[in-house]
């Protein structure tokens, strides 16, 4: 039975696992939704568009809607795999942020942590799906964790995706500049590495992401300094600076005035403007 849908996101239709017999196969056939198989043990073959992929424990393959595929367990070391069927609004956005944007298969890196993590997450997904007190948010959390493990390492260079990455990064900065965020936080949020994020900002904004963040903080602080209701300390912390001294140093470096001097000049300018209009 389909899990309760989370509005505007996606739905998991079914999941399960199987220890295949030697040479067990399925297809060629098509599915009406997305289907991820993760290999828990053994080996097998996946064929898509005439290309053959030989996979083993820790690897995974994605079947897209209405795509003809064939897969078969190895005859001497048959695979055990787990699967998740899913679809819904916004699915493509998530898929394109994984390794599946460039290939229908995921190759597990040779380290000590990834393979056990994959097995653990798949087990948690299956348990959550079959639980009598099924919780859609818990299940989706595990599913997104799985997609996070399968995150791609090379950003997709299509112009629409470049724009999407930049807009998402800028949106993150504007919503989080008041916190102690780092450039690595921004990169992780949009699913790219730091070096790519740096190149993206230099190419599109002509400044680094660090400079963009600092400029936003100082512009916000300048606006707040026009109001007498905020103290310098309140402004410093509200704009993401760890202390007043750091704020004052950065502000003077950029504006050539201390925050207090800037506030004084802004106040005097306001008085002059009001006086001008009163006299005219």
Residue 215, in any domain of the structure: no
Asked if residues 40 and 19 have their Cβ atoms less than 8 Å apart, the reply is no
Residue 102, in any domain of the structure: yes
Residue 216, in any domain of the structure: no
The span from the CA of 41 to the CA of 56, in Å, is 7
- For residues 239-271, one letter each, b for 16 or more C-beta atoms within 10 angstroms of the residue's C-beta and e for the rest, the string is bbbeebeebbebbeeebeeebeebbeebeeeee
Note whether 114 and 139 are same-domain residues. yes
Find the domain containing 106 and state its range.
11-149
Q: Which of 129, 149, 169 is the last residue of a domain?
A: 149
Counting the structural domains of the chain, the total is 3
Q: What does the pLDDT read at residue 135?
A: 72
Asked if residues 88 and 11 have their Cβ atoms less than 8 Å apart, the reply is yes
Q: What does the pLDDT read at residue 151?
A: 75
Note whether 101 and 192 are same-domain residues. no
One digit per residue, pLDDT tens: the chain, 280 residues?
444 444 446 788 888 889 999 999 998 999 889 999 999 999 999 999 999 999 999 899 999 999 999 999 999 999 999 999 998 877 887 887 788 888 899 988 876 677 888 888 888 888 888 877 767 788 888 888 888 888 754 444 555 567 778 888 999 999 999 998 999 899 888 877 888 889 889 988 899 999 999 999 999 999 999 888 999 999 999 999 999 999 999 999 998 999 999 999 888 877 666 655 555 5
Q: Which of 101, 130, 149 is the last residue of a domain?
A: 149
Q: What does the pLDDT read at residue 5?
A: 44
């Amino acid at each position: 039975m389909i899990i309760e849908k989370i509005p505007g996101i996606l739905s998991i239709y079914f999941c399960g696992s199987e220890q295949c017999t030697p040479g067990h196969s399925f297809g060629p056939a098509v599915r009406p939704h997305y289907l991820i198989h993760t290999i828990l043990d053994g080996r097998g073959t996946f064929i898509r568009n005439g290309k053959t992929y030989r996979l083993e424990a820790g690897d995974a393959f994605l079947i897209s809607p209405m795509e003809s595929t064939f897969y078969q367990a190895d005859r001497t070391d048959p695979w055990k795999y787990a699967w998740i069927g899913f679809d819904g609004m916004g699915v493509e956005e998530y898929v394109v942020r994984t390794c599946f944007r460039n290939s229908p298969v995921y190759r597990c890196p040779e380290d000590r942590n990834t393979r056990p993590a994959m097995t653990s997450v798949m087990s948690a997904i299956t348990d959550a799906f079959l639980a009598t007190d099924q919780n859609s948010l818990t299940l989706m959390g595990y599913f997104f964790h799985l997609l996070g493990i399968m995150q791609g390492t090379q950003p997709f260079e299509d112009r629409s995706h470049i724009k999407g990455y930049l807009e998402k990064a800028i949106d993150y900065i504007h919503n989080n500049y008041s916190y102690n965020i780092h450039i690595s936080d921004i990169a992780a949020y949009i699913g790219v590495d730091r070096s790519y994020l740096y190149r993206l900002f230099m190419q599109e904004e002509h400044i680094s992401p660090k400079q963009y963040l600092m400029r936003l903080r100082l512009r916000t602080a300048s606006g707040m300094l026009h109001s007498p209701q905020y103290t310098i300390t309140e402004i410093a912390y509200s704009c993401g600076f760890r202390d007043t001294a750091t704020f004052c140093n950065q502000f003077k470096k950029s504006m050539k005035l201390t925050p207090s001097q800037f506030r004084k000049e802004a106040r005097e300018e306001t008085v002059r403007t009001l006086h001008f209009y009163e006299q005219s």
